[in-house]
Amino acid sequence: MLRILIDVGHPAHVHLFKHFVWEIQKRGADLLFTARDKENTIDLLKAYGLPYCKIGPHYHSLLQKAYGMLKNDFKIFRITRKFNPNILLSHGSIYAAQVSFLLNKPHISMEDTGNMEQIRLYKPFTQAILTPSCLKKNLGKKQIRYLGYHELAYLYPSYFQADRHVLDELNIKENEKFMLFRFVAWGATHDIGKYGLSPTEKSKIINELSNYSRIFISSESELPEDLRRYKICVSPEKIHSVLYYATVVVSEGAKIAGEAAVLGVPNIFINAQSLSCLEELKNKYQLVCNYSNPENLKEKIYYFLKTHNIKQKWAEKRRLMLQEKIDVTKLLVWFVENYPKSARIIKQDKCFQLQFK
């Protein structure tokens, strides 16, 4: 029996692997997650009925992360040795990679950020690194490029159907415009040197825009008092339905911006620096807008709110993008089931993965 341990440290990682788990379980595989308690990661695992072991809290400072590496390595080592998987799988988990080395197990990483601080720590202990073809970083012989994005592992049309009941939960009327803002805590290693809007800018923009549209905020950190009334209150597994029905999405985080893009929803990524996948979605498919200046941001938001049939126009851009991308979950299931032979096949035949469209 194929046994797989998946280490996750972020809610997006649960989404990335959930359809893979459900599909490979149908084929008789045994799965177990190890998870850090970051934001609503544990809530998502519970909501989806996925088997997991909670490792501990999410650490913020560099000193805490160094301590957490030793502590989490030890915990995951004990769990892995007991579960005895054939393969460890993660989104660039340093812990899973190091434990796989200690236990002489293969580790397969999904990577789309190009965060070299993290990659340098897990790459020596990892056998295969699967990346979107648009990732500009060259990660060497272990890198296997595929025609897709992480977001298409769970938002591909075969898997995602928006739940219209979420509009009732938000008290949104039929055809009523609303916006979703996503703010991050800027505490991850890949956030060093990056920034979004200042607290003053956030308050000014949101309070002004509230005269033109309903507004909801999702935030990793505590909101200031004047913005708390906008905090979104839906269960975490419904956030993609909120994205789908939103008129505009404004995000400091690359993940929400990418999710809105592959759903064909007008969105603005507030960051001074884009990642490779967002660059492709922006430049090739015009599915992402990137602004860090508050005045330019407001101008673009007003444009989206006022433009007739804006969502239909973005849906057409999405259709063109999907024509060129594959079902990432289907590829991952095949890759893991047939590893290590699968790695050799993809490297030898660049067109092989087209069958996963």
Is residue 286 one of the residues assigned to a domain? yes
Q: What is the pLDDT of residue 75?
A: 94
- Beta carbons within 10 angstroms of residue 152's beta carbon: 25
Query: 1-57: per-residue pLDDT in tens?
Result: 999 999 999 999 999 999 999 999 999 999 999 999 888 999 999 999 999 999 976
Confidence of residue 192 (pLDDT cuts 50, 70, 90): very low
Is residue 160 one of the residues assigned to a domain? no
Q: What is the pLDDT of residue 65?
A: 61
Q: What is the pLDDT of residue 336?
A: 98
CB-based burial, 111-125: b 16+ in 10 Å, e otherwise = bbbbbeebbebbbeb
- Whether pLDDT at 190 is above 50: no
Same domain, 183 and 306: yes
Angle (CA) 335 91 239, round 5°:
105
Q: What is the pLDDT of residue 175?
A: 84
Same domain, 110 and 228: no
Rg (C-alpha) for the chain, rounded Å, is: 20
Query: 259-269: per-residue pLDDT in tens?
Result: 999 999 999 99
Query: 202-214: per-residue pLDDT in tens?
Result: 999 999 999 999 9
Confidence of residue 354 (pLDDT cuts 50, 70, 90): confident
Is residue 291 one of the residues assigned to a domain? yes
* C-alpha–C-alpha distance, residues 48 and 346, integer Å: 31
Same domain, 131 and 93: yes
Domain count, the chain: 2
31 lies in which domain range?
3-148+326-356
Kindly report the pTM of this predicted structure. Answer: 0.92
Confidence of residue 147 (pLDDT cuts 50, 70, 90): very high
Q: What is the Cα 196 distance to its own chain's centre?
A: 18
Same domain, 95 and 214: no
Same domain, 33 and 140: yes
What CATH number does the domain containing 339 carry? 3.40.50.2000
Same domain, 14 and 143: yes
